[in-house]
Amino acid sequence: MNSIILHLLTIIQYQYRQICWLILFISKYIPLKQWAFDDSHSPKYQKFKTNILPNIIYYETVEYQWLLEYYKLRYGKVVKPVNRRSECDIPEECSCPRCNAPMPYLYKNNGSKGQILCKVCGTPFSPNENRFSKQHTLRCPYCSHSLVPKKNRKHFIIHKCVNPKCSYYLHNKAKVPKEDLEGYKKNKYKLHYLYREFTVNFFQMDLDTLPKNASSLKFRKNDAHIMSLCLTFHVNLGLSLRKTAQALKDLYGISISHQMVANYARTAAVVIKPFVDNYEYKQSGTMVADETYITIRGVKAYVWLIMDGLSRSIIGYQVSDNRGVGPCIMAMRMAFRHHKRLPESFRFIADGYSAYPLAAQQVFRQFGKAFQFNITQVIGLTNDDEVSKEFRPFKQMVERLNRTFKASYRVKCGYDNIDGANYNVALWVAYYNFLRPHKVTGYKKPINEVDMLKGSDNMPGKWQLLIFLGQQTILQLQKQQPSGNACS
């Protein structure tokens, strides 16, 4: 028996040596191009990746008289003017751009090449260029070369590192096939380091803006019950404005115009939205985001939705006329408004659209490490990688949310204006979070139960209570000071 075991161990050791030799031979002499050009490493997908933040060099100015006094008190040293051994050709009107030291404290730093050095603050400069005229300079994080502004877009400026010896550029260039490096073929690849400097501060915009032309809640002809009936037909059942007016006429004999239904919906949205946005939802450490398109007068627009991965509540939403980074940042701010810092195991799941990593980068730049997170991107429709296989259920969850929204949107055949889209989405989110029975609860109750709403047995009564809760929230917001939450 012992001889058989020793023989088997010898065979296993021999097979192990053969396997090691084969692996070494394959790695040396057989180029596996499918490894080098995998989707995550292919140069074709480089354009969808977001670069890291650049190095920002700030320029601070100081007066030379203050520096002279500081040197005298701190070191007991008096900085004297330059003792020149030959005639100086520095102009009399020349001064240091940083400390404003006059010509007697300046001397040539590199001979006849033109650079001047200040003896007081030690700043080298050129008389023809004053870098201290601007507040800061953006530099490439890989080669420290100054970034050059290349393109002006609607909300941002694209800066580019044009250094041909940049390590980032050389690394990306090495992955491009040689036949594509000739002529203009390489322009279809993203090789240089790029940075988007936003010219609009999306962190100072109001998150609670809605149409201002809302009607009053003082009813002359109708009452609050008729208004809640309009909301039940229009929001819960997804009827259009004209169908809602027709249903009230056919069922209850109530004559009301479709424009009055729109006015009621707009007013209810203005009142209910503060309660929906400021409600403290039970949140887990996972958020799922996606965007879907709508039409406004035949022109494509977008709705951004962020939901909690466990409770299924919509905690962030935004209507926009573009698919840029700005609306994505606004939706993230709404989702983070009750957080002072993110949980340690926080995960943000989205698709492969590049706006989400860029928005996460801007959130980190604005609020610091307390809001630093990475985007888990579920790409494609099939589970071709381990990330997609693990997080595909979350992506399907938010896609199902989009289909639920489209079911109520489809009957409207688009919106007439951006204000109509705003109040309609706000009312639908209120219905989804607080009134609609969900599958996760066995279609017996909504995902967020409010004690006051339990006191009503019918939907029109719940809409009236929801309007009352919105009024109370508005009064509380008017009394309290601005909160200390970072994303408010």
What local confidence, expressed as pLDDT, does residue 43 receive? 72
Q: What is the model's pTM?
A: 0.75
In single-letter form, the type of residue at position 215 comes to: S
How far lies 389's CA from each of 210, 277, 382, 383, 395, in Å? 39, 33, 8, 5, 11
pLDDT, mean of residues 190-213: 78
End-to-end CA, the chain: 75
* Interval 131-177: pLDDT, tens: 777 777 889 999 999 899 999 988 889 999 999 999 999 998 888 88
Q: Is the pLDDT of residue 53 over 90?
A: no
* Domain boundaries of the chain, sorted by first residue: 58-132, 139-199, 274-479
Yes or no: say if 391 and 376 are a contact pair by the CB < 8 Å rule.
yes
- Per-residue pLDDT reduced to its tens digit, 56-83: 887 778 888 999 998 888 888 888 888 8
Pick the CATH number of 274-479 from 3.30.420.10, 3.40.50.10440, 3.40.50.720, 3.40.50.2300: 3.30.420.10
The pLDDT score that the predictor gives to residue 36 is 41
Q: Is the pLDDT of residue 473 over 60?
A: yes
Q: Are 189 and 43 in contact (CB under 8 A)?
A: yes
Has residue 113 got a pLDDT over 80?
Answer: no
